[in-house]
């Protein structure tokens, strides 16, 4: 194997080992490229209803994310948006990475230093771990669309304030409508709380299918631990592995 492919493969094995995966199971091979699964989330089965609508804040008349017809248009509008104070201290807009056709949308907290420099979400250490977590269930950057609750780096990597999150929420709401993903994965406390409209913490919210109400459609949503938290608390990778398996099962169920 070429050296450039050995390192990620080794890192993926290390991730499996850290999560306690010590054997390959399953008699049948899994087709990771199978047609999209239909999500059978009848109330009372695997989903509960969450008040998961980002609360909209009035925007300037000349900035209407709901009128954007494509994700590219929306990104351009976000670049012109002056309603989030974080923009003043950030170097770059950090809107999204991945595929505009992805079935899986991931929403993190906020860009960090590397993301601010490169203008893309999750490209630093936490992003590398996130990529491994996704690879562990057969997903690459082509299968996912990654964004954050805010599009600019908070100074000193602090948690974005509720007001900062609210100011970007109309964009995020439209981003979800335009992508129309099969499932949404919320990474960490800030994303889970703001998107699910609850004060409950991530340890209570993680690992269960909920519903995000997007226009006419209910989208299955699951919260999991933030990869940056996993870097600081590697023992918790076991919990995140369970969540990844739930995501895998939802994606590949027949």
Residues making contact with ligand URA (CB under 6 A) = 108-112, 115, 121-122, 124, 126-127, 148, 228
- Residue with smallest beta-carbon separation from ligand URA: 108
Question: Cβ of residue 124: shortest distance to ligand URA, in angstroms?
Answer: 6
SS3 assignment, position 94: coil
CB closer to ligand URA, 112 vs 170: 112
CB closer to ligand URA, 228 vs 239: 228
| Beta strand segments in the chain, E | 48-49, 97-98, 104-108, 144-148, 183-187, 209-214, 217-224
CB closer to ligand URA, 148 vs 175: 148
In the numeric block, the tokens 């991945």 are attached to 98
Question: Cβ of residue 126: shortest distance to ligand URA, in angstroms?
Answer: 4
| Whole-number Å distance between alpha carbons of 126 and 121 | 10
- Report angle CA 116, 238, 10 to the nearest 5 degrees: 65
Question: Cβ of residue 143: shortest distance to ligand URA, in angstroms?
Answer: 18
Question: Cβ of residue 122: shortest distance to ligand URA, in angstroms?
Answer: 4
Per-residue b or e along 126-154, where b marks 16 or more CB atoms closer than 10 Å to that residue's CB: bbbbbbbbbbbbebeeebbbbbbbbbbbb
In the numeric block, the tokens 């989208």 are attached to 219
CB closer to ligand URA, 111 vs 181: 111
CB closer to ligand URA, 39 vs 151: 151
Question: Cβ of residue 130: shortest distance to ligand URA, in angstroms?
Answer: 8
């Amino acid at each position: 194997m070429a050296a450039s492919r050995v390192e990620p493969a080794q890192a993926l094995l290390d991730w499996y080992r850290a999560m306690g995966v010590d054997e390959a199971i399953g008699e049948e091979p899994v087709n990771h490229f199978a047609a999209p699964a239909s999500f059978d989330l009848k109330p009372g089965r695997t989903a509960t209803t969450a008040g998961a609508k980002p609360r909209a804040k009035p925007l300037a008349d000349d900035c209407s994310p709901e009128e954007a017809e494509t994700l590219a248009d929306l990104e351009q509008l976000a670049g012109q948006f002056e309603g989030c104070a974080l923009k003043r201290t950030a170097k770059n807009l950090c809107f999204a990475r991945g595929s505009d056709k992805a079935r899986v949308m991931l929403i993190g907290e906020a860009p960090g230093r590397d993301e601010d420099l490169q203008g893309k979400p999750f490209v630093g250490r936490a992003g590398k771990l996130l990529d491994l977590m996704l690879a562990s269930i057969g997903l690459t950057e082509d299968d996912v669309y990654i964004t954050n609750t805010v599009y600019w780096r908070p100074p000193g990597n602090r948690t974005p304030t509720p007001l900062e999150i609210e100011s970007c929420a109309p964009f995020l709401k439209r981003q979800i409508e335009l992508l129309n993903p099969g499932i949404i994965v919320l990474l960490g406390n800030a994303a889970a709380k703001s998107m699910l409209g609850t004060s409950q913490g991530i340890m209570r919210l993680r690992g269960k299918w909920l519903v995000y109400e997007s226009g006419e459609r209910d989208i299955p949503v699951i919260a999991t631990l933030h990869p940056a938290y996993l870097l600081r608390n590697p023992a918790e990778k076991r919990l995140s592995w369970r969540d990844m398996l739930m995501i895998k099962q939802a994606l590949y169920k027949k």
